[in-house]
Amino acid sequence: MNIKDLPTDERPRERMIEQGAAALSPAELLAILIGSGNTEESAVQLMQRLLTDCGGSLKALGKLSLNDLTKNYKGLGPAKAVTILAACELGRRRMMEVADEKRYIKSSMDLYNLMYPRMRDLAHEESYAIYLRADNSLEGTPFLVSKGGLTSTSVDVRLVLREALIRQTPTLALAHNHPSGNTRPSRDDDQLTERLQHACQLMNIRLLDHIIVTDGDYYSYREQGKI
């Protein structure tokens, strides 16, 4: 069933043109992307079912894999599935964009608010270094230091400091995520923080914090008095 087979007043494209994007449901917006459903469902009905399986959450949808979509939903081939995932990624990147004016990072919460949109949908661990100018304003975008598996990622302290020297920043912070949702640092996290703090002291660079990001919460080494 194609969208063009629906009555004119039920077609998402036409409704969006006449009423604006805000008038459409998430399922209707997704239906515009895929264009058609299957022999039993229209594009809108297929997307409604997909979102229902995701608990109505676009965030949960963004965590699905290409295989999840193509294997479990008739009518979603690789091309349509990639289109959906690309739209989810665009939404995530939009949230990551830093405003044109200076963004200041002065607290652990500021760090969390900066990094959470970037890490919220990750199913694996990633570590980022954040570099700050003398007034604690953000210098460039966060730097991806490492990308790991479900429970760990390896950080090269030399790489972190090298980037600080290139950017000529006096302050840096580190952030990594725990996909499990557990904010408790591991022994490896503690050892990494100690190595990084020692290296920063040798280079006369201030380590502002090391935070562990989870969905809706974080752990701060500075707030815990460990930096």
Please write down the HEC assignment for all residues of the chain.
CEHHHCCHHHCHHHHHHHHCHHHCCHHHHHHHHHCECCCCCCHHHHHHHHHHHCCCCHHHHHCCCHHHHHHHCCCCCHHHHHHHHHHHHHHHHHHHCCCCCCCECCCHHHHHHHHHHHHCCCCCCEEEEEEECCCCEECCCCEEEEECCCCCCCCCHHHHHHHHHHHCCCEEEEEEECCCCCCCCCHHHHHHHHHHHHHHHHCCCEEEEEEEEECCEEEECCCCCCC
Out of 114-118, 153-157, 189-193, least confident range: 153-157
Residue 69's nearest CA partner among 34, 99, 17 is 34
Average confidence (pLDDT) over 151-155: 69
Q: What is the pLDDT of residue 18?
A: 87
Residue 70 contacts by C-beta under 8 Å, 6 or more apart in sequence?
76, 77, 78, 81
pLDDT above 70 (res 100): no
Q: pLDDT band for position 182 (50/70/90)?
A: very high
pLDDT digits (tens, 9 = 90+) for 37-81: 898 998 999 999 999 999 999 988 988 999 999 999 999 999 999
Q: pLDDT band for position 125 (50/70/90)?
A: very high
pTM: 0.64
Q: What is the pLDDT of residue 91?
A: 86
- How confident is the prediction for the chain on average, in pLDDT? 89
Q: What is the pLDDT of residue 81?
A: 95
